[in-house]
Structure 1
Amino acid sequence: MTTTAPADRARVRLTGYARGGGCACKIPPGELEAALAGLVPSPKGFGAAELLVGLDNGDDAAAVLLPGGGTALIATADFFTPVVDDPFDWGRIAAANALSDVYAMGGRPLVAVNLLAWPREVLPFELAREVMRGGLTVAREAGCHVAGGHSVDDTEPKYGMAVTGIADPARLLRNDTGRPGVPLSLTKPLGTGVLNNRHKATGEDFPQAVETMAALNRDAAEAALAAGVVCATDVTGFGLLGHLYKLARASGVTAVLDTAAVPYLDGARNAVRDGFISGGTRRNLDWVTPHTDFGRTGEPNRLLLADAQTSGGLLIAGEIPGAPVIGELVDATEHTLVLR
């Protein structure tokens, strides 16, 4: 294979070099949980720092209590194949997505390192530089240093970051601390999965989706902390239903979703109607179906609610300014999720 000629670079469609795109290329949640089932957490007292959040409930990031007890260190990593064709925008989106795991825990990102896989004999490395420039731009917006990273020659382009942050250990946002009677809020509209799939198939651009994915969840996290929220997660590859199911299951409650209150990006419903649905979205829906009372919710809405999001918003057990309330947590019932 030969590297793309300079004259062709403006026409490179990065999404054409990957089987999936964005967080839709995640390993299905059921398969992932089965693989992790045999991995036990470190025993209490292991190492120099106490593990606060680990594998137990599949939370957004790991957290350890640093010696002295006043600071929790948060560690996460996230990377994926191209979700859009513009390399700079892909970098922005991937960085915002990786940083989101820290915000979803109530933390502040401090330093990140790049994770890059690149088919160097197929795609010019100038494009990879644009991807990393996009990541650096968003990291700087977050006040987060970018210092080095790791790269490999791969058949598919992939980009993301490993991010380290800090938080107040007494104010961590976790996915296992939801309580009955608490409302549920969502800080970004759904639909990036189906719109990204349409973009990959047709080349049609969706600027609203790009800016939504590239937007930091920093302000939402700060608002949640200011409101005294203790339970939250972000909405990414497992879709709203998948992440809500994980939160409700970990908290031992049932989540009741007001489907009419869920916000969507422009064009998302049309993309579902026209069949631009990823395999990841269908696997998300299959995973939650045994645990869900769908009521009268039809298949198009079910697919949108399970849509595999990339760099989605925060799902917050509580109310914050500007975020729609989309449901509530109640005492556990027969089903973990109830749609109305």
Structure 2
Amino acid sequence: MNAPACPAVEPRLTSLSHGGGCGCKIAPGVLSEILKGTVALPVPAELLVGIETSDDAAVYRLNDEQALIATTDFFMPIVDDPHDFGRIAATNAISDVYAMGGRPILALALVGMPINVLSTATIGRILEGGASVCRAAGIPIAGGHTIDSVEPIYGLVALGLVHPSRVKRNADARAGDVLVLGKPLGVGVMSAALKKGRLDAAGYDLMIASTTQLNTAGPDLAELPGVHALTDVTGFGLAGHALELARGSRHEVVIDWASVPLHEGVRDLAAQGLVTGASGRNWAGYHADVVLPEGFADVDTALLCDPQTSGGLLVSCAPQSLGAVMDIFQRHGFARAAVVGEVRAAPTPRLRVR
């Protein structure tokens, strides 16, 4: 059988996908509708974290000293450069291991490509990008699976290890905690601008730097007794993932919007209408549990719900541990980590923005 012919002129990667990066996620309201009819399966005592609080990964106790973290993440292109696409997708997938407080040990590649549309050289560059990130994380790509797909899809299954006592769930925030966000927001807006040819070279470089920065602070944060909850901000935006934290802990999460760091230029881009469709779907899915201040601008609502691809860690910690948390972020190169809110006792779990 003859191999598929390589196309003479290849299309932009982003032109082949109906959505890019973590903006591909099924909207939270639709996802809840899909999952509500699933049949509950027996849960072994060794399963420390499952699907009950929509956490970042599953965690299974192996013994008294080790628990296995298992997660997977994959999506369609958010950028046109194949090597950058691979890097972003791999960084995003590995992040969930760090978000549970663990250290990655290996990955499996998930590859779906339109082989009659993209050349083997382009597909190889995507895989090389992912492999470069795994090398930076100190782990091998030990296998994987490939399919011929209508849209380009790439990601990883990522496995890691953590001590059972240091697992950091998104459900264990405590009243009185302060919230720290590791990376600025705005990746979704940047991706929308890129797709429409409105993102300049400096904006693109900033986007790549953010989305390929591994969340290596996670394990060190997990060693702090004062860090109670940990998650990463991805496709559901800061509002969605903060709301998951609120629902899991059954508290009110308060976000000080003026303190939330934004990538340079994204507010102006959002004001020009350069936002993703996922931002609106996110808001439609969870707005009933979000309280906004009077006069909160539409552009700020869009940024609050902006889907982050390979976004920052969101940490809930005791006030007396804040200095140590900030020191860890700085040591790992997260110069714009910032205190963005607090956790308060409340009769109804919700997110409040002030």
TM range (shorter): over 0.9
Question: Structure 1 residues 227, 91: closer, same or farther in 2, change over 3 A?
Answer: farther
- Aligned partners of 2:88, 2:114: CA distance in 1, in Å? 20
Is the 1:253–1:332 contact (alpha carbons within 8 Å) kept by the matching residues of 2? Answer: yes
Taking the TM superposition and a 5 Å limit, the aligned residue runs for 1:185-334 are: 185-202=180-197, 204=199, 205=201, 206-226=204-224, 228-296=226-294, 297-318=296-317, 319=322, 320-321=325-326, 322=330, 323-334=337-348
- The answer to whether the 8 A contact 2:251-2:348 is kept is no
- Map of 2:144 onto structure 1: 149
Match of 2:89 in 1: 94
Matched, 1:18 2:9: no
What amino acid maps onto 2:171 in structure 1?
D
Q: Which moved more, 1:294-303 or 1:115-124?
A: 294-303
Alignment partner of 1:59: what SS?
coil
Worse-superposed segment, 234-243 or 318-327: 318-327
With over 3 angstroms needed to count, the CA separation of the structure-2 counterparts of 1:335 and 1:39, relative to structure 1, is closer
Residue deviations 1:253-306 (CA, integer Å, cap 9, x gap): 000110000001112112211111111110111222111110132211111010
Could you tell me whether the CA contact under 8 Å between 1:261 and 1:326 is conserved in 2? Answer: yes
3-state DSSP class of the match of 1:30? helix
- Give the 3 Å change call, closer, same or farther, for CA 71–254 of structure 1 in structure 2: same
Cα pair 2:82 2:125 within 8 Å, conserved: yes
Gaps of 5+ in 2: 331-336
What is the CA–CA distance in structure 2 between the aligned matches of 1:133 and 1:332, rounded to whole Å?
48
The alpha-carbon deviation at position 225 of structure 1 amounts to 2.9
Amino acid in the other structure paired with 2:20: G
Q: In angstroms, what is the RMSD of aligned CA positions?
A: 1.7
The amino acid that maps onto 2:31 is L
Q: Report if aligned partners of 1:292, 1:335 keep a CA contact under 8 Å in 2.
A: no
- Cα distance, 1:2 vs structure 2: 6.4
Q: Aligned-pair distance for 1:41?
A: 4.6
Distance 2:347 2:353 in 1: 13
Q: Give the alignment of 1:41-190 within 5 angstroms.
A: 41-45=40-44, 50-66=46-62, 68-190=63-185
Residue 193 of structure 1: how far off its partner (Å): 0.2
SS across alignment from 2:227? coil
2:113–2:152: 8 Å Cα contact kept in structure 1? yes
Question: Measured at CA, do residues 166 and 42 of structure 1 come closer, stay the same or move farther in structure 2, by a change above 3 Å?
Answer: farther
Are the equivalent residues in 2 in contact too, given 1:3–1:122 (CA < 8 A)?
A: yes
Q: Secondary structure at the match of 1:230?
A: strand
Deviations 1:287-326 (A, max 9, x none): 2211111013221111101001100000110231142100
User: Tell me, what secondary structure is at the counterpart of 2:223?
Assistant: helix
SS in 1 for 2:31: helix
Deviations, residues 187-214 of structure 1 (Å, cap 9, x unaligned): 0000000100110111634110111000
When normalised by structure 1's length, the TM-score is 0.93
Q: How far apart are 1:220 and its partner, in Å? A: 4.4
CA shift for structure 1 position 226: 3.5
Whether contact under 8 Å (1:107, 1:172) holds in the other structure is yes
2:51 counterpart letter in structure 1: L
CA shift for structure 1 position 163? 0.8
Please give the alpha-carbon distance, in whole angstroms, between the structure 1 residues aligned to 2:77 and 2:150: 13
TM-score between both structures, scaled by the size of structure 2: 0.90
CA distance in 2: counterparts of 1:335 and 1:163, whole angstroms: 31
1:78-110 Cα offsets, whole Å, 9 max, x none, are: 000000111111111100000001000001110
Range moving further from structure 2, 219-228 or 252-261: 219-228
Correspondence 1:29 to 2:28: yes
Q: Within 2, Cα distance between the matches of 1:224 and 1:261? A: 24
| Structure 1: 4+ residue segments shifted above 4 A | none
1:161-204 deviations in whole A, cap 9, x for unaligned? 00111111101110110110000000000000010011011163
Distance 2:52 2:35 in 1: 10
Distance 1:82 1:44 in 2: 35
Provide closer, same or farther for how the CA distance between residues 38 and 259 of structure 1 changes in structure 2, counting only shifts above 3 A: same
Alignment-derived partner of residue 350 in structure 2: 336
Cα shift at 1:334: 4.9
Structure 1 position 43, deviation (Å): 2.6
Distance 2:110 2:230 in 1: 26
Query: Is structure 2 residue 7 aligned with structure 1 residue 4?
Result: yes
DSSP 3-state at the match of 1:58: coil
Superimposed CA distance per residue, residues 25-79 of structure 1 (whole angstroms, 9 cap, x where no aligned partner): 111112112222233554354xxx711111111100001111x332110100000
